[in-house]
Amino acid sequence: MESELTQGKKIILSGIQPTGTITLGNYLGAVKNWHNMQSQFDSIFFIADMHALTVRREPSEFRQTALSFFAQLLACGVDPNKSIMYFQSHVRQHAELQWILNCNTYVGEASRMTQFKDKSAKHADNINMGLMDYPVLMAADILLYQSDLVPVGIDQKQHLELTRDIAVRFNNRYGDTFKVPDGYIPTTGAKICSLQDPTSKMSKSDPDRNATVSVIDDEATIVRLFKRAVTDSGSEICAREDKPGITNLINIYAAIENKSVGEVEKEFAGQGYGTFKIAVGEAVAAKFKPIREEYQRYAADKEYIAKVANKGAENAAYLAERTLRKVKKKVGLVSF
């Protein structure tokens, strides 16, 4: 993809933190849609490695995970010829714009963010400024590229609203500078929950290995994880509020096989949970087999990953600098 974005297409931007591995939930809820977005939008996708620094990580392991995530995205169909794809830390303009936006964000706004409160509770021994400032960096990510659309889940809606507030405030004070972005809700993709706690979202950082399925798990592992999945009392395969375990499995099977919930219920009417769990596991394993094979090919080719990442960062920086130069001029910073 060239530095200049296509005239007439809307710009969509999304990032993913390199923690754990890309899960079934990430794939169905986000990454699968990234693949589909590439033809419809000018797409900018990045590994949010700066965001991930808010939690302490072992450096060498963190570096390897970030590289692995890049290879996983390629394997899932993100095409660097159609999208700009890069590591956030390779584009300095993210951090530069964040500082200027910090000076236009109120402490009360940042401290009210629900995710800051949640993460502070989970990491009580490391309540750092990055946890509070995370949404302002996210605002910089989005506003740098004059993004029209940002795919957001429920946990990020509040951050997008803050981004919009910051953009409007800056525009009102300094004149038209930033495009005010909208949230983007894909037409496909259900909320995928933990296999061990079907009342919680499947998380790539979940310490319980039985709770998540990765796009790079082998077939035997995937089937075994689904066999161990938590279900509910009774034996009827139907989606109901009082049956979160089986409802989660139905949603997964429906999303993988491109079927409606009703079609899945009809297909497995009269069959037991055990049979259904194996069927879901086999369907997911079949879907992820080509992804895993592509991942192994990309992961072994560090030179190709470096080439794609460097080119993506170069293109991203070109676009980001256009916005940053305008912002610096608006706030009165000296430029020669």
Catalogue the active-site residues.
119, 201, 204
* Best CA proximity match to 190, nearest among 269, 278, 250: 250
- One DSSP character per residue, 276-318 reads HHHHHHHHHHHHHHHHHHHHHHHHT-HHHHHHHHHHHHHHHHH
The CA distance from 5 to 192, in Å, is: 33
Q: Which residues contact 333 (CB under 8 A, 6 or more apart)?
A: none
Instruction: Locate 78 and state its tokens.
Output: 């993100």
Instruction: Locate 130 and state its tokens.
Output: 């990055």
- One DSSP character per residue, 51-97 reads GGGGS---HHHHHHHHHHHHHHHHHTT--TTTEEEEEGGG-THHHHH
| b/e code 17-27 from CB counts within 10 Å (16+ = b) | bbbbbbbbbbb
Instruction: Locate 327 and state its tokens.
Output: 């912002």
* Best CA proximity match to 79, nearest among 318, 311, 320, 322: 311
The CA distance from 47 to 18, in Å, is: 7
Q: Which residues contact 125 (CB under 8 A, 6 or more apart)?
A: none
DSSP code of residue 40: H
The CA distance from 307 to 24, in Å, is: 28
Residue 103's φ and ψ, nearest 5 degrees, are -80, 0
